[in-house]
Chain A
Amino acid sequence: MAEKILEIRELETHFFSSRGVAKAVDKVSYSLKRGEILGVVGESGCGKSVTALSVLRLIKPPGGKIVGGEILLDGVDLLKLPEREMRKVRGNRISMIFQEPMTSLNPLFTVGDQIMEPLMQHRGLSKKEAKEEAVRMLAAVGIPSPEKRVNDYPNSMSGGMRQRVMIAMALSCNPEVLIADEPTTALDVTIQAQILELMKKMRDELGTAIIMITHDLGVVAEMCDRTAVMYCGSAVEEGPVHEVFKAPSHPYTRGLMMSIPKLTEESDRLYNIKGSVPSLFHLPEGCRFADRCEFCTEKCKKETPPVEYVGPNHTVKCHHWRTLERFSDERR
């Protein structure tokens, strides 16, 4: 199980505009093991989604371009594949589900047609076989009376059901990796729980590794084995969820954890990380987080921190993670 199915190494995706170059993803590295759920967290605009789209090479020219790094799917660099080969990866070996289930399905075709399409394209099934498979997938994702629903149009389904259909579609070709870009953000809380439960169940049954992009730390705690925290286009900390959540090694992760309201503690104001995210057009030198960091020193403003190992599976990008740990211990 420990084998890495997907490994992103120093990925750089830039957007070119008249205002300059926005380094949306700047040397991001994280990896995904077979059958594991990785939670990618970070605030809006930190590059979570762009990283995911880069993995599928769906960044659109001329605005955006992947300018460097490697994306290894089972050892093969996706960035070097020709477009034809890449199409065989999309939806087949890596598939993706989106944030807005209401608009992720084509309103003019039945859900069955849409689930059948990747099956026929990637697995070469006949129309009849694909339809049977679509019904089976709909049943697997918990759609009641799937043999009837398969002929329904998306407009007759609720958001939760459409997200189930998306999951059915994404998993129909039994991909090795599923990228879920905030799959529950647009759903209400009870449906959220059901969808998360379903994804977990599908992982257990099919062994699909999942990259879960979210800004909901609760979802990560609930669902994920490991987590990668992104800030300003770079992955600042990566490690097993229980380690990262219990003893965050990066000041930013720490800030995130502290800004979650706790039921057990009484306080009037929520903690917030001071300052705001720097513009992607004018990134500061050295550590991205330096301006907002309470542990910032001169070194932070000059040198980009290297990746350091906190534990065997736990990495961090901070000059002061050791002292930070002591600091937290003292506080406790």
Chain B
Amino acid sequence: MTDHAHYRSAMMADPHDADPELLAHRESCAECRAFTEQLLRFEARLERALLVDIPTRAAVLPFARSGKTAQGPRRWMAMAASLLLALVTAAGVWLTLPQRGLAAAVVAHMAGEPDAWLRTDVPVPDADLNAVLKDSKLRLKPDAGMVSYASSCEFRGHKVPHLVVQTPSGPVTVMVLVHEAVRNPKHFDEQGYRGTIVPVPGHGSIAVLMRDRESGSGDVERIAARVDDALVWTR
């Protein structure tokens, strides 16, 4: 039996604790629900506060300043080559990556999983889909569309669900970003992807994106709204 004090202590230690007894208590207690909402608002601030951007001096890790294996002129040539490579790489990254932080990170993540974009009519088994969604304390209504890809991905320090939903307009990627709060929808059109990141009050945000060649005007926004409706939060 969970009382107010036990519930609130547990929430203070982990506001995302999904223990069934705690959830049951929250459902039955309006005061603790209000307490949790206040706590989760602060937690969202905390999560954003921790995401500091740290400009760095060193360009390449981990060998930027080791220089222990090369000797004499060879060492200097190696260092010069490393520096040149670092400058070229940095310039390349600067010129090619989208500049907005979260959208850029979402787009960059896509490049690592090209297979996710396959058009297919084979749905992910329910058990696999639920396993991916469980950690984020959510489930997906069946009317969201056929999910052909579901993976729990490392994204900016957190495991996040990465789904691909097959729609008449083609495959659509959805990333559920519980740890990334945004105040307003952010639209982006970068690197061959068109997408939007929309706020989900109390639950961070969701990113929805399509490849340019498959998205018509307004498609992404419409699909984002449909996905948002189909998400059922279990906490």
Instruction: Judge: A and B partners, yes or no.
Output: no
